Structure 1
Amino acid sequence: MSVIIKVSYETDTELKTVLTLLDPIIKEWHKANEKKGKYERVYIKTNVRK
């Protein structure tokens, strides 16, 4: 089973922190094409055990 998580962040440091914390379950991730307001977005696809 996969879950997609949408993360909004302001700095690359915040993104690196989130990716580090979720590293054990991350399958893939990608940044959104455009910035929405003052936040950037990234979508993280994870592997979740049933």
Structure 2
Amino acid sequence: MSDGEGDLGLLDDLIGRARRAGSDAADAMLARSAALDASWRMGRNEGV
């Protein structure tokens, strides 16, 4: 199972739980992100 399939399964499970708990509608969203930054101060690298 790829990560995408696992993500869809997780979202499907969450929606199913909400419906079984009595909801007549439910929304679920999953977001992933990655970031990299570098900072310089007074001409010197402070970190990456």
Q: TM-score, normalised by structure 1?
A: 0.34
Highest RCO, 1 vs 2 (Cα 8 Å, sep ≥ 6)? 1
Q: TM-score, normalised by structure 2?
A: 0.34
Bigger CA radius of gyration: 2
Q: Which has the higher helix share?
A: 2
